[in-house]
Structure 1
Amino acid sequence: MTKRLLRVGTIYIPVLNVDLSSEWYLEKLGAELTYKDKDKAIFNFANQSIFLVKSKDNQSSNFYDTHGEERFSLTFEVNGLDALKTIHKDFIEKQVRVGDIEDRGHTGRNFVFYDLDGNKFDVWSELSPQFKEQYLISE
């Protein structure tokens, strides 16, 4: 048996209001709510377990790099540029705060979006080859 880390099981995201944020994740991202109490909500989406955890004011999962640029700590993947453009348009129609689709000088394209609490997330147009193989996804 190989002893190594196999996957990320859960991601924790700080939110100010669990009820409002839960509704946002349901409506805007289509997440599946599996549990909620006054301090947390648990969602399944994007092949991941996501906990929204009640936090103090002015908390987020964002950080600043050495150049002072605000960064995201999580990138979602979609299957191709058409899928990226579709979800970008869908987010705009749902009034999600989104950035422009960008060419960052590597394979694929990206855009960022924010939740109600200002948590910044990235979306990339490329699925990892291992994910495609495991789930039998073709181009």
Structure 2
Amino acid sequence: MIERIDTICLMVSNVEESSTWYQEKLGFKEAFKDEGYRVLSIGNSGVPLTIEQGSPKTSSVHRAYPIFFAKDIIHTYEKLKQHGVRVSELQKDNTNTFFDIYDPDDNKLQVCFWE
């Protein structure tokens, strides 16, 4: 029935500006472009991020968010801070090291590392 995650979709207030932000700040590539949305490829992952023109702040409770994996999480954390990306504190639990980042529409994204 369900075979895989196809994409993760986030609503953004300005698809052009957000596409540029994801490309410049996070290194994503625009894989497909159409009216009102963009599909962005993420490194070697087969799961893209789709950003769609809309109203992202209609409900902040129980909003889905993508979690990205980074082998060198400390380097990634520092590089994102240097690029002016808003990041949370680096956190560790029993299994994961992770931090949250926020795009221009205040969508929460997370970066993690685990062994």
After the TM superposition, which residues 89-128 of structure 1 pair with which residues of structure 2 at under 5 Å, given as runs? 89-103=78-92, 105-126=93-114
Q: Percent identity?
A: 27
Provide the rounded CA distance (Å) in 2 between the counterparts of 1:84 and 1:109. 8
Q: Please report the TM-score for the alignment, with normalisation by the length of structure 2.
A: 0.86
CA distance in 2: counterparts of 1:57 and 1:73, whole angstroms: 12
Higher Rg of the two aligned structures: 1
Whether 1:73 aligns to 2:65 is yes
Whether the 8 Å CA contact 2:22–2:28 is kept in 1: the answer is yes
> In structure 1, what is the equivalent of residue 54 of structure 2?
55
Listed as ranges, the matches of 1:14-93 within 5 Å are 14-46=11-43, 47=45, 48-56=47-55, 58-59=57-58, 62-64=60-62, 73-79=65-71, 83-93=72-82
Deviation at 1:72, TM superposition (A): 5.6
Aligned alpha-carbon RMSD (Å): 2.0
Aligned AA (2:10): I
Deviation at 1:57, TM superposition (A): 5.8
Name whichever structure is richer in strand by fraction.
2
Match of 1:74, as an amino acid?
Answer: P
Number of residue pairs matched? 113
Counterpart of 2:66, as a letter, is L
- Secondary structure at the residue paired with 1:7? coil
Please give the alpha-carbon distance, in whole angstroms, between the structure 1 residues aligned to 2:28 and 2:3: 23
The Cα offsets for residues 82-114 of structure 1, whole Å up to 9 and x where unpaired, read as x110000010000000011012x3213111000
Instruction: Letter of the 1:63 partner, please give it.
Output: V
Q: Which runs of 5+ in 2 are unaligned?
A: none
Q: TM-score, normalised by structure 1?
A: 0.72
State the 1:13 CA deviation: 0.7
Shift of 1:73: 2.5
The separation in 2 between residues aligned to 1:118 and 1:86, in whole angstroms, is: 23
Work out the CA distance in 2 between the residues paired with 1:18 and 1:12: 12
Give structure 1 stretches of 5+ with no counterpart.
65-70, 128-139
